[in-house]
């Protein structure tokens, strides 16, 4: 009761899940983003497509059994896509089973005109994505038209995607085809899909930024999460041989070979700029 009075209690949703508390939202969500509009010299080659893999799942079961209302973080998805779009790239939206994309709408920046514009432009694709298996069947032989794969963050990126063999196949296809892989925050959890079938971690020895487990362990105290995470991400990646470049919830970004990563929602704008600039430079 005291936590509720102080605004520290997670909000109970109609489906029995919990979204972040009033205090947590006050410190973690803004009506506008720090999106930086840049006039890029647009890419004019043939590799214009970027496959964007979203989660279609909403509720994460925490260690205490409570459900966290999650999905794809809208800022982590849409800011990088804004930069990539401005640089001349287009998107093919996909989910594991072809179900609609799920966003953490409690984190949506309602008064950001740029975010609203691209969200509305792509809304039909978010509601009617392609199925990953269909992408594999139709596009694996079409590398000439793809620049890379983007997997947005949000805790929902840990739902289904790291355990999906088709995600692993696509990441290995991108790596073998010399395409870029772009991800941030909890999105690097998708990279774990390359270990399915007891295979060696594809990104062993890579430098990367990722959301720190230390922050996830603290956020239940302010009601951002309704309990502790079912598993740690940064520790798992480190144990598999990744070199983590950040220890804090910050705007860090990193490029190692064809992997471009960011640390948290705060890195969304930086990641978008880095991805756009890197792709434009490398695909000349």
Residue 161 in tokens:
């995607």
- Cα distance from N-terminal residue to C-terminal residue, the chain: 59
- Clarify whether 254 is annotated catalytic: no
15-24+43-282 architecture in CATH? 3-Layer(aba) Sandwich (3.40)
Instruction: State yes or no: pLDDT of 161 exceeds 80.
Output: yes
∠ CA 159-208-129, rounded to 5°: 40
| Confidence (pLDDT) at 27 | 87
| Confidence (pLDDT) at 284 | 80
Nearest to 136 by CA among 103, 94, 196: 94
Instruction: State yes or no: pLDDT of 2 exceeds 50.
Output: no
Averaged confidence pLDDT in the chain: 96
Q: Which of 185, 210, 237, 275 is catalytic?
A: 185
Residues 211, 186: contact at Cβ < 8 Å? Answer: yes
How big, in percent rounded to 5, are the helix, strand and coil portions of the chain?
Answer: 40, 15, 45
For 234-279, the pLDDT digits (tens) are: 999 999 999 999 999 999 999 999 999 999 999 999 999 999 999 9
Residues 93, 101: contact at Cβ < 8 Å? Answer: yes
CB environment 117-153: b (16+ within 10 A), e (fewer): ebbeebeebbeebbbbbebeeebeeebeebbbbbbbb
Instruction: State yes or no: pLDDT of 21 exceeds 80.
Output: yes
How many CA atoms, within 13 angstroms, populate the side-chain half-sphere of residue 115?
Answer: 24
For 177-220, the pLDDT digits (tens) are: 999 999 999 999 999 999 999 999 999 999 999 999 999 999 99
Sort strands 67-69 and 59-61 into parallel, antiparallel or unpaired: antiparallel
> What confidence category does residue 4 fall into, taking pLDDT thresholds of 50, 70 and 90?
low
Instruction: State yes or no: pLDDT of 6 exceeds 60.
Output: no
For 82-127, the pLDDT digits (tens) are: 999 999 999 999 999 999 999 999 999 999 999 999 999 999 999 9
């Amino acid at each position: 009761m005291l936590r509720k009075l102080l605004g520290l209690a997670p909000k109970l949703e109609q489906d029995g899940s919990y979204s972040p508390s009033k205090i947590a939202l006050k410190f973690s969500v803004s009506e506008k983003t720090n999106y930086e509009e840049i006039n890029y010299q647009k890419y004019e080659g043939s590799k214009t497509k970027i496959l964007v893999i979203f989660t279609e799942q909403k509720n994460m079961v925490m260690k205490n059994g409570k459900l966290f209302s999650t999905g794809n973080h809208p800022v982590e998805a849409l800011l990088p896509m804004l930069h990539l779009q401005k640089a001349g790239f287009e998107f093919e939206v996909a989910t594991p089973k072809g179900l609609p994309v799920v966003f953490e709408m409690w984190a949506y920046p309602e008064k950001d005109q740029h975010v609203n514009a691209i969200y509305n432009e792509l809304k039909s694709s978010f509601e009617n994505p392609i199925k990953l298996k269909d992408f594999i069947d139709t596009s694996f032989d079409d590398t000439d038209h793809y620049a890379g794969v983007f997997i947005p963050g949000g805790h929902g990126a840990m739902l289904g995607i790291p355990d999906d063999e088709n995600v692993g196949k696509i990441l290995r296809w991108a790596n073998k085809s010399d395409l870029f892989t772009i991800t941030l925050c909890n999105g690097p959890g998708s990279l774990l899909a390359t270990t399915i079938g007891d295979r060696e971690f594809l990104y062993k020895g890579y430098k990367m930024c990722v959301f720190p487990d230390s922050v996830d362990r603290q956020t239940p105290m302010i009601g951002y999460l309704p309990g502790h995470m079912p598993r740690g991400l940064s520790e798992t990646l480190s144990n598999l041989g990744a070199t983590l470049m950040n220890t804090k919830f910050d705007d860090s970004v990193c490029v190692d070979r064809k992997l471009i990563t960011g640390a948290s929602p705060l890195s969304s704008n930086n990641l978008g700029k880095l991805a756009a600039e890197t792709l434009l430079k490398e695909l000349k």
